[in-house]
Amino acid sequence: MTIGKFHESLMNRDFSAAEALRETYREIDARDGEIGAYLSLARDGAMEAAEAVDDRIAHGERMPLLSGIPLGIKDNIMLEGEPCTAGSKILEGYVAAYDATAIAKLKAEGAVCVGKTNMDEFGMGSSTENSAFGKTRNPRDLSKVPGGSSGGSAAAVAGNMAIAALGSDTGGSIRQPADFCGVVGLKPTYGAISRYGLIPLASSLDTVGIEAKTVDDAAIVFGAISGKDPHDATSVEKTYGKELYESRPERIRAMTIGLPKEYFGAGIAKEIGERMDGVIAAFKGMDIRVKEVSLPHTAYALSAYYIIMPAEASANLARFDGIRYGTGGGGSASIKERYVDAKSRGFGEEAKRRIMLGTYVLSSGYYDAYYAKAQKVRTLIANDFKAAFAEVDALLTPVSPTLPFAFGEKTDDPLAMYLSDIFTITANLAGIPALVVPPGFQLIGKPFHEHDLLGLGREYERAMAS
């Protein structure tokens, strides 16, 4: 069910928000033992929110579109009074002290947060296998990973255990799971959605975003949670309006889509290449112009990303010192021993690897060779996009070079896992928006032009449905 249909049925009193929520929990109780999308359920808070919506409807109020909509929330986004672990043992038992701004905005619309979804520890991974609390299976094929790091959010939506879900995207963490699970994923422009209440991974790359069943649904949630927030200095003064929801086919069909040749080279699985051929033909069939463009520094993006991200992550994760969060530590002889004890027991393998890598590239003597160099390469990558957007309105690329892989396939080889992100990290480095639409392609757009991507995605959905 889509948000639009749900809203219509709710206002027609076909069902109540409480009934819809009970149905969602029945689905979760029946299926999630197998899938593992949720880490914790917010049954009481969700029921209270649903009943409040029903009360207002009973009083004849006109309700916002998101009222009563059951949503999954990635477990690195704070939902007051509920556990928030970010998939890490170091935060086991931690209860969020306040609502993230995105959550507060959703609650103000009457949305219902049903639970917290599984993820790679602190967002570090591309398969959700790095969660300290067990694996999530891909609802489309239980023998495969759901992608990551927002694997739980994508699986919840794909498995009909939420209508939409919040995720976060630092290097592809919304888009690659959307691709693997067959849902829509929106990574907004950096600064479009407040990061307040998002447990940070790499602050200059992190974005809050959306997993949804349709492009319209992604647009509705995005419209509700975007905007400047005094609590996040990097959030941007930009107000989106009806252009997000409007269908203006004549405007969309006048667009030119660029195909960056560096994204279509060797290294793409045959199935992905064939899928992209079909998608390109579909856009051409809609009379949208398609032309090849070049983003010449693409080959260096992975290295730049895997310097900047761990550097920022190592600084952000320093706060988990066993003093303000976590358990125990009172028995340590000294404060230093307490730090070491909490971190060594609390962080998983990938978190430790990235902390070590980040510490290395930031350490004296190496800073210029790695971190400073990577930041300059980041400028070149952002400039590549600027040049391409002088020629085209949006870029069309694959999301992941491979189909969903099996459990354990890449866990022993960090570089192979990092290569999963090769087509998605560039949008984070440049800070620009990107949208993934089933059967799994990515549209990358100009800063604050989410509406262009949503419009193109919507036209594609229509063309496929007709």
Of 73 and 304, the one with the shorter C-beta distance to another protein is: 304
> How many chain residues touch another protein (CB under 8 A)?
76
Residues taking part in catalysis: 74, 149, 173
- Other beta carbons within 10 angstroms of residue 30's beta carbon come to 10
In the region spanning residues 407 to 446, those forming contacts with another protein, defined by CB under 8 A, are 414-415, 418, 428-431
Give the shortest CB-22-to-another protein separation in angstroms: 29
- Near another protein by CB under 8 A: residue from 2, 40, 160, 327: 327
CA distance 374 to 305: 8
Q: Take residue 400 and report the two structure tokens written for it.
A: 């992941």
Give the shortest CB-404-to-another protein separation in angstroms: 24
Of 138 and 170, the one with the shorter C-beta distance to another protein is: 170
| Residues comprising the chain, all counted | 466
Q: Is 266 in the site for another protein (CB under 8 A)?
A: no
Give the shortest CB-420-to-another protein separation in angstroms: 15
Of 59 and 336, the one with the shorter C-beta distance to another protein is: 336
Give the shortest CB-112-to-another protein separation in angstroms: 22
Q: What are phi and psi of 171, to 5 degrees?
A: -150, 15
- Near another protein by CB under 8 A: residue from 265, 328, 408, 439: 328
Q: Mind giving me the DSSP string for 363-428?
A: STTTTIIIIIHHHHHHHHHHHHHHHHHTT-SEEEE-S-SSSPPBTTSSTT-HHHHHGGGTTTHHHH
How far lies 68's CA from each of 245, 372, 390, 401, 430, in Å? 20, 47, 42, 37, 36
Of 88 and 136, the one with the shorter C-beta distance to another protein is: 88
In the region spanning residues 71 to 90, those forming contacts with another protein, defined by CB under 8 A, are 80-81
Task: Give the HSE-up count for residue 299: Cα atoms under 13 Å, Cβ half-sphere.
Answer: 7
Of 60 and 330, the one with the shorter C-beta distance to another protein is: 330
In the region spanning residues 338 to 397, those forming contacts with another protein, defined by CB under 8 A, are 338-341, 343-344, 347, 349, 352-353, 355-357, 359-360, 363, 370, 372-380, 382
Give the shortest CB-16-to-another protein separation in angstroms: 30
CB neighbour burial string for 219-253, b if at least 16 within 10 angstroms, e if fewer: bbbbbbbbbebeebeebbeeebeebbbeeeeeebe
CA distance 219 to 63: 18
Could you give the string, one character per residue 202-221, with x where binding to another protein holds by CB under 8 A and - elsewhere? --xx----------------
